Amino acid sequence: MDRADVVARYDEELDTEAYADVDASANGLQVGSEEGEVEHVAFAVDAAEATIEAAADAGADLLVTHHGLVWGGLDRVTGRAYDRIAPLVENDIGLYVSHLPLDGHQSRGNAAGVADRLELESREPFGELGPVHIGQRGRASRTYTVGELREALDELDNGGESTRVLDFGPDEISEVAVVTGSGVDWLSEAEAVGADALVTGEGKQQAYHEAREAGLNVFLAGHYATETFGVRSLAALAQEWGLDVTYLDFPTGL
């Protein structure tokens, strides 16, 4: 398949353009030419030396990641930036990135994947960011206790680290809001929509007091662990297109 065709299909599926004004990430094709053929695609959460080298070892023509290399501009290609970009160029591997579009996609995105795992129903977009959303909320098909929801999230691959909980909300949890990665900035929105719990990846100092004052449970299941779903979904889509795929798993425990 033409690389340009793969890029265009992903851009259309993820509505990449809708996030252009709100995302610091340069989404879409970050490294490489749109010319050329793609037969083998590698997928990873992070574009790092380890995943790029693994993609080269796998013989991939394209690497698709959630976290890319360009955030608000790239001034110099030296040091660590060079060490990451050079093997992509040397091995003619394109880098396609989808950050917030892949968080917010309501069926293929990271939050949707977490919601699937927790069996949430009656879902709606959540995590408002300007004109778009980067999360999802819904009602659990069965009521969770705090401990049960923690156990369900501990099944995610977080490098052996367990889920941290700010258990300031109700003992029984039905309404759950999800913003993957670093999502505690949407704690007030979770309170406003009547959620019993906010599920995200990592926290910030002020979230402790905000959760306590809001009477809300906050589950910190790991930035990496909550953001594997989107790239896995894009890998499945590539398989439907007849491409060979490799998933590269490098959990950080964070």
Q: Is residue 124 part of an annotated ligand binding site?
A: no
Strand pairing category for 120-129 and 132-145: antiparallel
Residue whose token pair is 């690389």: 3
Q: How many other β-carbons are positioned within 10 Å of the β-carbon of residue 131?
A: 9
Residue whose token pair is 């990496």: 224
Distance CA 194, CA 85 (A): 45
Q: Is residue 66 part of an annotated ligand binding site?
A: yes
SS3 assignment for the chain:
CEHHHHHHHHHHHHCHHHHCCCCCECCEEEECCCCCECCEEEEEEECCHHHHHHHHHCCCCEEEEEECCCECCCCCCCHHHHHHHHHHHHCCCEEEECCHHHHHCCCCCHHHHHHHHCCEEEEEEEEEECCEEEEEEEEEEEEEEHHHHHHHHHCCCCCCCCCEEEECCCCEEEEEEECCCCCHHHHHHHHHCCCCEEEECCCCHHHHHHHHHHCCEEEECCCCHHHCHHHHHHHHHHHHCCCEEEECCCCCCC
Q: Is residue 227 part of an annotated ligand binding site?
A: yes
Q: Is residue 103 part of an annotated ligand binding site?
A: yes
Q: Is residue 35 part of an annotated ligand binding site?
A: no
Which residues does the annotation place in the binding site for a divalent metal cation? Answer: 66-67, 103, 223, 227
Which residues does the annotation place in the binding site? Answer: 66-67, 103, 223, 227
